[in-house]
Structure 1
């Protein structure tokens, strides 16, 4: 049976885009994964796999958003379902050796299946008794399929069959002699002592009694083969059925793990006082744009420090966004918040903002500064250019590229000469680019072109040199006000200066 919580029936991997392999590290998503897991390693593994797999279908995104909303509204119920699925997926499977008798093999196969039937009954009844709390098609569809597939009458019949397969009153088997005195036409009948049903899964029983001499080894071997062949086939059917139900519970546990993680994150951020919203995913081809109100970086919000300032930006029709301004003014934080919001939106999650809307991108790629290559294979500039080449080889039109202080290891003029043609080529192919840069020549030259699809933001700085950690629209700043940072660290600039 399908689970269909992550997406409607029929959705698949073809609707999922592949993001850059550095996205999680550059955007510091590990802090979000830890908060979602809340100590459950399985949940962390699942969310770390699901979140970066961005959907490109607005229908799938909105479908999943509604399931996330249900989960955030009723977290205790979703955790109960997750606990049931976890217990069922871990139902112990007994391994049977080759020398085990056919009856023993069947008996060991029955134990886990009997437990799983109990878990199915518990899961279905939990969904039924709480169906009024669900509003999403995902949870309602799951409850409906459970009710239709595993009704009381069906489960009772299955439990009765499992009890009969224990053969407490012996078993009845019929067969005919085949070619060469072999066994043919074997039929396992309804066990003796069981009430006759109108439609028996064991066929019609005919009673014949044969007494075998204790010394007749050939007869014993014949009967052993007869019984073993019959019960082995039944044991295989029971085992296959058990495997199918376990696979369902494993899939259910995996999908529920994502939604429990979303509930944990929702509670954590909401309790810390941050506004959360479900973003509006704009279809691909609707024009490059984004807008946000009080957008914040989830990793910074989860750090437990001082309250985090939000940014409100209208980037309608924007293909290129250039962020300049004061050092330590919140530029990189804004870049991470924008990337995290895009990732979370295309994962079907809420975002840390009062409002957020953006067009769906075919891939999300990041290029942030890293430490020098410890193996000394490359210098910093060559290492960065190699990473840029790998990035440009992987991106596709309609992707999103986030650059944080690119080419900081060379002179400003040379960096601008390298970065400008790469940026123009990306924009020409429809790639949306957001770049935080200290390269004034590069930013100024772009600003002078006056394109309607370009947006220029600056980190705010008060007259006393303090930071608001918010961005405002404005032409590129010629200085990053590094002296403000110097004075903050070393104090007022009124001491003796070193002699040259």
Structure 2
């Protein structure tokens, strides 16, 4: 059996597995469609695959490292990987153009056999191409996944096997007609129909000329005997039934193999597309270090928001953070200082790490999350049937129903739709309960009382940097919250720096 096993070491990827129930929130809050479009480059199938794989995070370190090693091979040998990917695409193109295999297995055996035979014919040269690529690269690729894949191709598609398949396909054209054997059953009806090799199979013309022949009887149908032709066709179908079933199984196996190969390689093709764009922008990438979910680990260097970089088409500011041992990270500071951008960069990097990709950073280390959830503030719109604060509480209630220990929750200005005192108290109680249940929380907030209430050993504080003249660097630094609403910034934005200077004089 030919198995691809490029996403898992022991099973095929199942595209029909349901995605997490909070997938729409993740896509909206983390701007993931920007990432998917960059990976797909206009290809709808690549978009579908990357969407499915990225939003199906792994929770085992060994599986993540398995994919990382395969992706490293892809980055070293992109031309070979793209060449392999073209093989299943060519197979599907041929199938589409020739209308192959477009019928049910309940069709007549003659039709099944004809379609399956043509599908095998269409795949033979592609299988040879795949075998040639395996021979040329089996010792070049270093990952366990690709080495297993290439050695499997060499073993399953050796020269003897391919020659045998080609010979059988030619015989299934029945250039000398169909030879059947049968027995007489009850009521002198035919039974035990078996497809036989032609008597002259394997003989040269001289052997066929002088070979002894057993006596035979023949009957020739009149060209206009439609009833006789129909009966003869039924007899032919009886004899071909077992052969048609066997050939159909072989054809289905080949088609299934090419479909899985296309699916699993599509993810790595998407990664190659993304990598090439980031290199063109001059942005770094790194292969992250996943740590056990029950540990509280997080450190990064140069972590940036990949969706922002792709949108702007230029490098963006990254952050250097070391927050190991912390279950709660609180981010405060002035508006438009990079807080939400950082929160989004954490969420996207976590997803990319847990699907086996590189991440947008110089380095990145984090514990696994058993589920990633987001609770970002929503702009009020006409579709909202409830007030903003009630809507926030409703979404939080839904999230809590699905949270499990060692999950990761990203909160962005949550519970800010009410007054500061009420919002701080509600948020404090919710976050405290989450921490008791083993949930890791990142919280962007301007609620000073909330942030101050969590001073302690298990909390890490970040603040968006603001220079003395009010300019933002869009970097975060380790610092506690300030008891300020940055009213001077608002005044300067509305009235200008000159009036603000006159006011201070």
Q: Same fold (TM over 0.5)?
A: yes
Q: Tell me the equivalent position of 2:248.
A: 239
Mapped pair 1:479 → 2:481: no
1:128 is matched with which residue?
135
1:428 is aligned, of 432, 436, 448, to 436
Matches within 5 A, 1:64-463: 64-90=67-93, 91-92=95-96, 93-95=100-102, 103=110, 106-195=113-202, 209-212=216-219, 214=221, 223-285=232-294, 287-447=295-455, 450=456, 452-463=457-468
CA contact (8 A) 1:16 1:54 kept: no
**CA offset digits 1:137-159 (Å, max 9, x no partner):** 11111111111111111011011
SS in 1 for 2:312: coil
Alpha carbons 1:291, 1:358 under 8 Å: kept: yes
Are residues 214 and 4 of structure 1, via their aligned partners in 2, closer, same or farther at CA, if it must alter by over 3 Å? closer
- Distance, in Å, in 2 between the alignment partners of 1:16 and 1:97 is 28
Compared with structure 1, are the counterparts of its residues 357 and 217 closer, same or farther at alpha carbon in structure 2 (3 Å cutoff)?
A: closer
1:387-406 CA distance string (max 9 Å, x none):
01001111111100000011
* Structure 2: gaps spanning 5 or more residues: 205-212
Q: Is the 8 A contact 2:105 2:112 kept in 1?
A: no
TM-score, normalised with respect to structure 1: 0.91
Match of 2:41 among 29, 38, 41: 38
**Distance in 2 (alpha carbons) for counterparts of 1:86 and 1:438:** 52
- The residue aligned with 1:20 is 22
Name which of structure 1's ranges 467-476 and 132-141 shifts more when overlaid on structure 2. 132-141
In 2: Cα distance, 1:472 partner to 1:419 partner: 23
Corresponding position of 1:201: none
Q: Give the drift of 1:17.
A: 9.1
CA deviations 1:202-254 (Å, max 9, x no partner) are xxxx9663222547999766644322211233223222221221111111100
Structure-1 separation of matches of 2:289 and 2:410: 21
CA contact 2:4–2:149 (8 Å) conserved in 1: yes
What residue is the counterpart of 1:492 in the other structure?
497
Select between 21-30 and 229-238 the one with higher mean Cα deviation: 229-238
**Cα deviation digits, residues 416-472 of structure 1 (max 9, x gap):** 11111110010001100000001111001112xx2x211011000101100110011
Q: How many residues in Structure 1 have an aligned counterpart in Structure 2?
A: 485
What CA deviation, in whole Å up to 9, does each residue of 1:279-326 have, x standing for no partner? Answer: 0000222x2120001110110111135531111011110100000011
Please report how far the alpha carbon of residue 40 of structure 1 lies from its aligned counterpart in structure 2 after TM superposition. 1.2
Deviation at 1:99, TM superposition (A): 13
1:250-296: per-residue Cα shift (whole Å, max 9, x none)?
111000000000011111112211111100000222x2120001110
Deviation at 1:491, TM superposition (A): 2.5
The answer as to whether partners of 1:281 and 1:358 remain within 8 angstroms in 2 is yes
Query: What is the CA deviation profile of residues 146-192 of structure 1, one whole-angstrom value per residue up to 9, with x for unaligned ones?
Result: 11111111011011011001011122211110111121222211134
Distance 1:276 1:302 in 2: 14
Give the secondary-structure state (helix, strand or coil) at the position aligned to 1:349: coil
What is the aligned-residue RMSD (CA, Å)?
2.7
- CA gap of 1:163–1:304, structure 2 versus 1, over 3 A, is same
